[in-house]
Structure 1
Amino acid sequence: MARWSFKEALRLVFLVIVVLQINFLSTEVVAQETAKISTSWRNNNHSVANVTRALLYPYYTFNDSSGPFMQIILLKEIRPRVGYACGFVSNGTDDSFVFSIGIVHYRTDFVGVHYWSDLDVVWFANRNKPIRENGTLQFLPDGNLILKDADGTLVWSTSTSNKGVVGMKVMETGNLVLHDGNNQTVWQSFDHPTDTLLPGQKLVDGQTLVARLSETSWNEGNYYLLVNHQGLFAFYKSNSPQMYFNFFIRGERESIETSYVKAVNGTLALYISSAEPNEPDAVFSKPSSMKYIRYDYDGHFRVYNEENRPVDLLADFLSECDYPTVCGSLALCSGGQCSCPSGFERSDNQNNSGCVEINPTKCDGPRSHGLLHLTDVYYFNYVDSDAAVLKATDIESCRWLCLRNCSCKAVLFQHFFSNFSRGNCFLPSPVLSLISDGKQRNDFESSAFIKISNDMSNTSGSSASSKRKGIIAGLTAGIFCLSVVILGICIVRRKKQSTEEDVETYWEQLSGMPVRFSFQELQDATGNFSKLLGEGGFGSVFEGVLKNEEKIAVKQPNSLGQGKKEFLAEVQTIGSIHHINLVRLIGFCVENHHRLLVYEFMNNGSLDKWIFSKDSVQPTLDWLIRRNIIHDIAKGLAYLHEECRQKIVHLDIKPQNILLDENLCAKVSDFGLSKSIDKDQNQIVTTLRGTPGYLAPEWLSSFITEKADVYSFGVVVMEIICLRKNFDMSESEDRVHLLDLFRRKDEEDRLIDIIESNDEDTRLNISDMIRTMKLALWCLRSDFTQRPSMSAAVKVMEGTLDPEINLEHQTLDFNPLAAIRRKSEFETTVSVPPSVLSGPR
């Protein structure tokens, strides 16, 4: 009898242990098809699989592929060795897991152990909130299916408590179903699509497919696709969603059934307001068979068949260059090949591939940068007819719109061949791939202007010869400059001394001026400007304390090109107005190049932090306080318009410019853009100034009266009532634009629908809130002559005057300009030439 060595005996023991582990594991892998309530599963058996793999490799593996790993909970076989499974899935790159549904392929080894080799994940429950090892899935006695992380945090739920649910099963369609005692579906995964449609599954109106973030990340990405009563649409998610595909269905529909697309027989059938068994309105067809249709991370909508050969359903409509991120930001795509414009190079950031500037531009005004003009360059967003910032404008106005905007990286001008002088102006944000394919598209052509540093134009394309010429020219200029430098210094010194004397004389002659501080005094008071309260297009504001312990706010305005006389004249205007609802100007500083304004300190900051905050830490203002704030703003504006020696038009009324004191009393601030009008003067002519979203329609003509402030006041009133911004992408599609919603509800006589809160404070004050909305309606008339004066608005708030409501609805026009209606690229105050706004409404 042969004797076993110690090594062979140890190997036999290990083999027995491993077989026992695999058999235990197989009961988990080849799982049951159904589950009953009061069952739970813990996400921990993947560790057993790793032990098995380590002990038997390379003879056995739990997963033949290097792709995602699943701990199977339920499995429905649809054909031999292929099935739909649900369970805990990991992509294998970290210790995070998602409860998912997938298509699995599995085999049986020589000892009868089942293991799978391929997994296609087709649905996610918690892809944005993955759990860790030892998280649990619990099928509670009340019928609710919940997912918890290892620390007990609730991550996901079907919200099916007390709905009669008794069981859960995976259907042969891949649908995960919770059913009641009569086997009727209570909840199903088909009603909650993520990025994939299985055969027979619908995507209905109100649902979206959201692509994955990347090939290796299951988190929601930037692409989404939806269907509605007009057709099928695909977008890239950004500040303002950028549409890159649309398929419109035109004509009247008799049925009022929900619109949807359905994956069936290797096709995608589109039903728009028509119900089965009617014929679909359109069919997107490619392969003859399919496993699923996936909306992929790169924006492609692909059918995957059994051979895993994906085919793009949109290939007949879009070329490779029509996809927003095919080449990355600011890159040029031609025939599927990517390149960078002159002065740019490929980015090293793999997560944000594209082109970056070799010499980054600086926001020092239009002189610090220029625009690189590229002809025959297009942008995919032209499929969106509402995407133009300015319509019917000229090319120079379009260029200046980008030059004057620090955040603008590129602007595109599209014009029709029949009219080369007029066209549409596009300021995409962010700027995605550009199309440079050398062919004309439909009946229009397009040019792109890409912002580059002026330094670039001085360095790019230089030859050795031009450098030598530059050196010679520089030496010659230097000799000439040296010969006159002494004379120049003398002239400058004498002129400066004369100017300083003139300014000092001018200042001394002015009456009613506030306190004049030295720069050193304000530097000491602010701790060398160390505590920043806020900053933006208006400049920067710092907190400080004077020697008498009075707290102050020191503003350093952005007033490039403004001389001392002009600044002092502005100070005199602001310093001469005194009202409880206007922020008081305490003093100023004019010293060398320093221009500073000293205001009273407002303890509770700006209004926007109170009405736009979604942080539970920030308390919500009750209606009485909000009503008082509206009243305070109206009184402050009425004083400016009617009680000063000259009318003062503020021109930038918005929540950021309304400050609150320790008692939450509101005061109007920031008069940097204000204009004075003589009492006998009806209007002023000025360039566009203010903040998009608060601009009155008459800015199209640039003939402005104090009624422009009344319009802005109306927008602010609506924001205060609804506690949200007038443009909010976090809202549902039909509620993104508050003023559009306001208009629709007013026409339906359903203003009450706008107020979402149903707390006791709202219920007790609903009639007063509706009355205040009607005041806002009055202020938002597109015809400025129909708007009330601010003194009339004060009377409405005091209850001595009723708001005017007997005006026809068709006079309302909340969208006279695309730049006002859409989310503008200007996040700060802007000033643009009048030519930018030329053209019809």
Structure 2
Amino acid sequence: MLVLGGCFLLRAVACRAQTYDYPTANLTTAWTNSPSLRNQASYGDGSIARAILLRINTDGYGPSFAFGFFCINRVSSSSSPASPCTSFLLAVAVVHCDSSGAFVTGPGTGILPEVIWSANRGRPVGENATLHLAPYGDLFLLEADGGPLVWSTGTARRSVAGMNMTSAGNLVLFDGDNAAVWQSFDHPTDTMVPGQRLKRGARDGLAADVSTTNRSESRLRLAVTSNGLVAFVDASPPQPYYELINPNASSAVNDDDSGSYVVFTSGSLALVRSSGDRPVQLVSLPQVRSLQAPQYMRLDADGHLRLYKWGSKRTDGWAVISDVFRGLEPCDYPTVCGSYGVCTNQQCSCPTAAGDYFRPVNDREPGLGCSPVTPISCSYTQDHQLLTLSHTNSFSGQLSEPSFDKISDESCMRMCLKNCSCKMAIFHYGSDRSEGSCFIQSEVFSLRAHQPDQARPYNSTVHLKVRPVAESGHKSVASKKLVAIISSISSVIVFASVVAIGEGGFGTVFKGKIEDEHVAVKRLDRLSPERTEFLAEVETIGNINHRNLVKLMGYCVGKSHSFLVFEFMPNGSLDTWIFEKDRLDLSLDWKTRLQIITDVARGLEYIHSGSREKIAHLDIKPQNILLDEQHNAKISDFGLAKTIDRKRSWVMSRMQGTPGYMAPECWLTRKISDKADVYSFGVVVMEIICGRRIVDESRSENTLYLMRVLQLCAESDRLFDIVDTQAKDMRLHAAEVLQTIRLAMWCLQRDSNERPSMSTVVNVLDGAAEVQADLDFKFDYTSSPARAEALISDIPWTTSMFTRSEP
């Protein structure tokens, strides 16, 4: 056993040891998140605890409450080296102390801090962040070096005299009369401890974490009502899945009950409807038997409300002793099978007979849900249809008030089709389908199938809004509205200057103006011999419209030159911002970098699965990613793009793309699929995070190839070493940065079948999916120049099979 914290380990004695805690603090005090804090411990999995206040339990040792900076590492497995733990929560946690007040830790003990409340759950901080208890009474958290404000109690000028960590686990700011001015118990996160109350109101309840590794607030909630507790999804309207109701209470909501609350005591959850009323037990729970066996209750990321207890032995750790939502089956939980997933006998699948409409987010993890093959958009209401699932209901069957009552199933369907925001209609009825209740839903969570012969109080049918995949060759309204071929482009466009703003392998880009709108005019220096192929390409580009794709406004075909007219992007191309940042004194913070990554992912997702035709861009690189005034990213240059029949996964094509960004299969097999774009996206993500080119000839041979550096850092579990050192805020968002690097690594898998779809990539960036484990780290296809040259020499290169884009 390893004991850290700067205190002497006392020998075991019969009498009680002196208490070495420090539960209070005075005004005008500041603490820096660093090893210099009074009590620090590093745990076997890489987690770190740094105490500001410590309240040891009255036994003088064992599980106790600490307030401070906690970095809980839930990423690394026990069989691999611990990843650097760099994202800290300012939190109250249960820690295990010895009789000297030091934290007990070390491999094999299983004693990790258990966070029960945090101030900054959605915005962790890094090393050297500072907490201030100001002389005017406010408690506030700043990022490192006096950076932006992260969190504050908002108690300035409210007579605060000091801060106290109570024996119940409540962080309190108190006044001169020792009355609470502010307390953490009034601002719960996802956890309750004995003695804590939940007040009435959705925002005063519990909110689950997004996942076990993402402590941001999810939409799974537990709130107090006038009659008890309700668990629900925070949607519009809210979708409940469990209720704990006082059987003796009136079902009517009474304004006089606005002060009602639920209290967690040893042995129960009890409702108090108004001041002076006796608590009414809602559910009985196992009692707390000892200070050495404390409890806490948590609304977990999967929607379960679980009661945890510290084991009788130190090595036991925390164990679940009760699932408070009794009577619920696995299929009753709203996220058990993810969005659009159907739960049948505890098994998840996409809606049956819907292969043309939905596909799994991850084939290997059916519980992550399904996504529409063609996204539902209000721009295509004329294409919307309804897919009917008989004997199917929402996850728990508990719904809010019906949108329409005493109407027919057909009327319910029409109401959904007329409502642009409707994604699903649920119809409940008895023996007569002509009269029932219709529930219009703007979001789809997990669905539940039941057997037709099951005894149920009503029948249920689900109607999912879908948009069929268009047949190849379908012409949209957008293509008809495309600017027609004109004889003289100069009669429409006024050129802003004769200076080119861009130049590449296919032509020169000028800045121009149509009426009062700036545009970018791309002059093609050579025209494909197959004019019909050029026109077909233009029609394809004009047929797609998405906020993350540069908009084609018109085109002109001349005898010697052809022109494409695009919207103008004032911040230019991404390569300038990441490769020339030193020369031009440019910089991108992490928030902007992540937004650019997300924008590119959404643009690719659209051309792969959201447009009428499946399109592979085949030349994704920073030069083809343009930025508007707010640094929103848009994909440009579809000169090499290929359409792929949705009935096939790939097409044969000549080799095309930019060396370094091309997927291995493009130059080894010439089979082109949308997974080639996924690979290129992974390269671009690494360039954005590392702030360097894929091949940087200014570096030494060992660091010349970015993929080689990534491979070495991944194999040694030192991924953060590869991050752009000039981006100072990267370390403050280390967990998010590392997650994004792992996502890029998934996209860079050599086997195209092992790469995620762009829909899955977007889900990961949105926090709705996790990165696949057990990735292949062999990204380095050019481990030496000789090997690269040998690989290339083995390929029968001809001009007709290869189209090279300028790097």
TM-score after normalising by structure 1: 0.46
Q: Which has the higher helix share?
A: 1
